[in-house]
Chains A and B, each alone.
Chain A
Amino acid sequence: MGPHDVTATASAASSARVAVTRADETSARTFRIATLAMTIALAVAPWVGVYPVFLMKALCFALFACAFNLLVGYAGLLSFGHAMFFGTAGYVTAYAAKVWGLSPELAILTGAAASTALGIVTGALAIRRQGIYFAMITLAMAQMIFFFYLQAPFTGGEDGIQSVPRGRLFGFLDLSRPMTMYYVVLAIFLAGFLFVRRVIHSPFGQVLKAIRENEPRAISLGYDADRYKLIAFVLSAALSGVAGATKAIVFQLASLTDVQWQMSGEVVLMTLLGGMGTVFGPVVGAFTIISLEHFLAERGQWVTVITGAIFVVCVLAFRRGIVGELSAWWAKRRA
C-alpha cells in the first residue's frame, strides 16, 4: 500500500462512510413509533386489497435485505454472493419438507442451519481478504455453489424442487390458508427485523461499527476483528437462510433463480436503494424493488436495464439511499 492509499482511505472514511453512520442515529422513540406504524400497516395491508402473495414475497426479500445490511451496513463487508445462503436454505427446506416430510417449522430450521454452516465455511475463507477482494471472493464462491446445485441430483436441475407442501405449523396452523401463511411470514420477518436491530445496538454491534470505521485501531484496542467479522458474517448468512427457507415454503418451490448471481446483485441493490446502514432502509428498498419487478413483469429485459440504471443513479447521486437521504434531510431541517 503506497502513501497515497492512506490519504485515499482517510478521505473515503470522511466522505463515504459518513453516509452510512449518521443515518442509524435514530432515537429509540422514533424507532418504536416507526416500527409500530410499519407493523400495523403490514397487518392490515392484505385486508385493503394488497395481494398477500406479493406481500409475502416482499417480506421475504425485506428480511433477506436486513440480513445483508447487517453485514454491509454495520461490518462494512460487501458480499456479492449472498444468494448462496438464500438459495441453499431454500433447497434444503424444500427437500426437508417434501422428501423427509418435516413440519414447516423444522424444515425452515433445517434450511437455516444449512446456510449457517455454509456461512461459517465461506465466511472464514472470505474474511481473509478485504474490500474489493472480499466482494470478488464471495461472488466466486456463490458461483461455485450455483454450479453444485445445477449438477447435484437432489435439486432437480432446471426444474427445481416443485410443489413443496406448506404443511401445518406446530401441528395446528394450516399454512395452506393464505392469511395464516401471511401472518406467519409477517411474524418471521418482524422477529428477524427486531433481531437485527438488537444486534446492531448491542456492545457487539458497537465493536462491529468500530471495526468498520477503523480496523487497525479496533485491533490495537484489543478486539479480535476477524472473529467479530466472522460472527457478523455467520449471523447474516443464518438470517438470509431464514428468509430463503420461508420463501421456499410460501412459494412451494426452490429453484436455481435463488442461487444465481443476479439474486446476489438484487439484494445489494435493495439495500443500497433503501439505505445501507439504516434499520428501515432494506425494508423500503425490498418493497420498492419487488413492486417495480411486479409492475414491469411483462416488460422482460427492461427489468434488468432499469435495475442497472437504479444502481448507477444510487451510486452517483444517492449514496445514502431513500431512508438515509430522508433522515439526513430531517436532521438538517431540525438543526
Chain B
Amino acid sequence: MTEIFGIPIQAFAGQLLIGLINGSFYAMLSLGLAVIFGLLNIINFTHGAQYMMGAFAAWMLLDRLGIGYWWSLLLAPIAIGALGIVIERTMLSRLYQLDHLYGLLLTFGLALVIQGLFTNEFGSSGQPYRLPPEFSGAFNLGFMFLPKYRAWVVVASLIVCLSTWYVIERTKLGSYLRAATENPTVVQAFGVNVPRMITLTYGIGVGLAALAGVMAAPIYQVSPQMGANLIIVVFAVVVIGGMGSIMGSIVTGFGLGVIEGLTKVFYPEASNTVIFVIMVIVLLIRPAGLFGKEK
C-alpha cells in the first residue's frame, strides 16, 4: 500500500503529522482560553503574545544563559505566568464588573504593546531554536520517518491537555473551580478565596500558553509575529468547539489540526481558510458550537 486516494502515503502521513502538531497547539491554546473565559469571563486576546513570549523565554534562556530545553519547559511558563498574574492584578481585575467586551479590548491592546516591543528588540525575522540533542533523529515507521521531536510534541501536549482535564473535572480543586465558574458569590460564601482563585487561574492559563510556546520554539522560527495569526485561528477553533467543555476544546483542537493538514494534501489552496469555513458551517448548523451549551 503506497497510496491513499491517489496520494503517496508519505505525503499523506507527513501532512497528517503536521496537522497533529498544529492541532496540539490549537488544543493547548484553546484549552487555556476556555479555562480563563470560564472564570474571568474574559477572552484573553493576549494569549497569542504570551505564547510568543514563552518561545522567546526559551530562546533567551538558551542563548543568553545557556539553560536548555528541559529547564525552559519549567521556567518559561512560570515566568510568563507570573507576568500574567501581574496583568490580572493590576488591570484585568478592574474590569470584572463591566461589559465583557472591555476585557477583549484591553487584552488586544496588551497584545499590540507586547508584540511591538518584541519586534523593536528582536526585529521581525525569526530566530532558530536549537533542537535538544536527545531529540535529533527520527523513528522509522516503515512507511515514513517520524522525527523524534515531533512525536514528543504530540505526546506531551496530549499529556498536558489530559492532565488539565483531569484536574478540572476529577479533583477537589477542580470542583471549586467549576463551582466558581457557575456561581462565584455562593462559592465565596463557603469560604473559598475566589479572587485568589481567579488570579491563579489566569496565571495558569497564561502559563499553558507559554508552555505551548516553548514546545513550538524548535519547530517554528521564534519570531514576534508567531502568535498573532495563530490566535485568530484559535478563536475560530473556540467558536467551533464552544467553550462549555474542556474535553471539547481538546478534541476540537486536535481534530481541526488534522483536517487542516489533510486539506493541504487534497486541496492546498484552501488550507489557510478551511478552519474558518468549518466555523461558518458550524454557525449555520449549531450556533452554540459542537460542545457548547445554549446559554
Q: Which of A87-95, A131-139, A192-200, A230-238 contacts B (4 or more CB under 8 A)?
A: A131-139
Q: Does B104 contact A (CB under 8 A)?
A: yes
Q: Does B295 contact A (CB under 8 A)?
A: yes
Main secondary structure of the interface of B (DSSP, over half): helix
Q: Does B290 contact A (CB under 8 A)?
A: no
Tell me which residues across on chain A come within 8 A of B110, comparing CB atoms.
Answer: 308, 311-312
Q: Does A148 contact B (CB under 8 A)?
A: yes
Report the interface size for chain A: residues with CB under 8 A from the other chain.
52
Q: What interface size band does chain B fall in?
A: 35 or more
CB distance from A41 to the nearest CB of B (A): 30
Q: Does A12 contact B (CB under 8 A)?
A: yes
Tell me which residues across on chain A come within 8 A of B115, comparing CB atoms.
Answer: 304, 308
Q: Are B97 and A265 in contact (CB under 8 A)?
A: no
Query: Which residue of B41, B229, B279, B284 is within 8 Å of A8 (Cβ)?
Result: B41
Query: Which residue of B98, B102, B112, B113 is within 8 Å of A265 (Cβ)?
Result: B112
Q: Are A133 and B113 in contact (CB under 8 A)?
A: no
CA distance A305 to B110 in the complex (A): 9
CB distance from A123 to the nearest CB of B (A): 12
CA distance A319 to B108 in the complex (A): 15
Q: Are A310 and B116 in contact (CB under 8 A)?
A: no
Query: Which residue of A4, A11, A308 is within 8 Å of B185 (Cβ)?
Result: A4
Q: Which of B144-152, B161-169, B198-206, B230-238 contacts A (4 or more CB under 8 A)?
A: B230-238
Q: Are B276 and A311 in contact (CB under 8 A)?
A: no
Q: Are A309 and B235 in contact (CB under 8 A)?
A: no
Within 8 A of A (CB), among B217-250: 228-229, 232-233, 235-236, 238-239
Nearest A residue to B229 by beta-carbon distance? Answer: A143
CA distance A4 to B184 in the complex (A): 7
Nearest A residue to B182 by beta-carbon distance? Answer: A2
Q: Are B112 and A308 in contact (CB under 8 A)?
A: yes
Tell me which residues across on chain B come within 8 A of A312, comparing CB atoms.
Answer: 91, 106, 109-110, 113
Q: Are B273 and A148 in contact (CB under 8 A)?
A: yes
Main secondary structure of the interface of A (DSSP, over half): helix
Query: Which residue of A3, A143, A315 is within 8 Å of B102 (Cβ)?
Result: A315
Within 8 A of B (CB), among A62-79: 78
Nearest A residue to B281 by beta-carbon distance? Answer: A125
The verdict on A304 contacting B98 (CB below 8 Å), with A125-B284, A141-B276 known, is no
CB distance from A264 to the nearest CB of B (A): 10
Q: Does A301 contact B (CB under 8 A)?
A: yes
CA distance A5 to B228 in the complex (A): 30
Q: Does B159 contact A (CB under 8 A)?
A: no
Q: Does A30 contact B (CB under 8 A)?
A: no
Query: Which residue of B102, B277, B287 is within 8 Å of A144 (Cβ)?
Result: B277
Most chain B beta-carbon neighbours within 10 Å: one of A8, A140, A144, A305: A140
Within 8 A of A (CB), among B266-284: 269, 272-273, 276-277, 279-280, 283-284
CB distance from B264 to the nearest CB of A (A): 14
CA distance A125 to B276 in the complex (A): 12
Query: Which residue of B112, B114, B120, B181 is within 8 Å of A311 (Cβ)?
Result: B112
Residues of A within 8 A of B (CB): 1-5, 7-8, 11-12, 15-17, 78, 80, 125, 128-129, 131-133, 135-137, 139-141, 143-144, 147-148, 150-151, 261, 265, 268, 272, 300-305, 307-312, 314-316, 319
- Other A-B pairs, 4, CB within 8 Å; known A17-B99, A136-B239, A268-B108: A2-B182, A135-B101, A144-B276, A144-B280
Q: List 16 A-B contacts (CB under 8 A).
A: A8-B96, A8-B97, A78-B105, A125-B283, A129-B283, A132-B43, A132-B100, A135-B101, A143-B236, A144-B280, A265-B112, A272-B105, A301-B120, A304-B112, A308-B109, A315-B95
